[in-house]
Chains A and B, each alone.
Chain A
Amino acid sequence: MLILITGGSASGKSSFGERLFCELPAENRVYIATMKPYGAEELEKIEKHRKMREGKEITAVEQYTDIDRLKLPGRSSVMLECVCNLTANEMFDDDGAEHEMTGRIIEEILNVSHAAENMIVITNDVGSDVESGYSDPTKRYISAVGKINAVLAHEADIVIEMVCGIPLLLKGDRIW
């Protein structure tokens, strides 16, 4: 089963995603973190998410690109956090060089989803914004995330939008 969770920043996506992640039956739970620890703010966020997972028997792996290279144990539930970071990591090198990776990103996420028993994917609504103020690479990034979200939502069994900590069901059955 593929579950896509979208919503704005600080809307409660991670905590609700982790709740489902822990409730779904699985022999192994693998959490894929994609945020590169560039500085204090990222480290703070990584630490916050790590604390949320504490005591929950979750294996956390850091994989910034090519998440389908991970070897998953059998009957795994996977939680990917998040599409926006993965897309930025795949699209832009550390020196800022840009690559067209939309198809590849969709492929790697779906590969993991097919290999896993259940997969929860966290994404963000980066497109609800005034686009004109951004550089062309950022505009292409916004459009890439939008397309990836749309394809994942199409493939997903359940799509949820978080609003102020409240899950709204956009597609599929309510399982909580």
Chain B
Amino acid sequence: MQGRRPGARGRFLRAMGEYLKPQEAIPGSLYRTIMLAGGLGALVVWGVLTYGGFVSSLFLPSPTDIVRTGIELYRDGSLIVHAKASTFVIFSGWAMAAALAVPLGILMGSFKVVEALIEPVVDFVRYLPVSALIPLLILYIGIGTAEKIAVIFIGTFFQLILLVADVSAHVSKDLLDAAYTLGASRAHVITRVLVPATLPGVMDNLRITMGWAWTYLVVAELVAADRGLGYLILDSMRGLFTDRIFVGLMVIGLLGFATDQFFKWLHRILLPWSPKV
């Protein structure tokens, strides 16, 4: 044993020297192994804490508890109802934000007149916490689904408009000038060059703001909800059903992850020419 130790230590140090260079790529197989180890490690820590009885299930239910509760909620149909309600709220709010923010953002990034007109307002509003606007939203549009959709809308619209404006402001001027010297009119330059040039960036930012929309869900379902994953979490808190809270969290995470992957797939299919694909 004494003879082997320096060798093992030497190998370890060499591996450290090899793989811990800043920004240096590592072999794909090693990357996947470490990734798996990270996931399993978290699971093991979780298992030890819960099955080992170190933490009360009131604070942290065990993996099997959560799976069992998840299956239960799925079987009685409530999980699907909650997931559907939340997905509807998120997609509606986000889609409305996107439909308005993308064209406005492109105009704002391309035309100084539009920028001067709306940037101060947008910059002001986007720093207002969405939760602080809920009382006003209730006053204006009540406590129904519309109010929840409005929360998602406000949470994404003002961010998205600035992100899209930035994308369109960074379209190469030479690209537009090249189109002019090929005989394009201003209208042509806008519709056939400026807009398509923004698509990869717009697509990326739609994906990112969709992710943010999921994080606003609980805020949206804070008031007068009777369904939704956010509601499930808040309602479970009253009876201290920690396992249900975790089921809600898991489903939000999984749905968010799935939409993210869907958008990446969509980007590849719709914009095969994009340098980001």
Binding between chains A and B:
no
- Residues of A at under 8 Å CB distance from B? none
- B: residues with CB less than 8 A from A are none
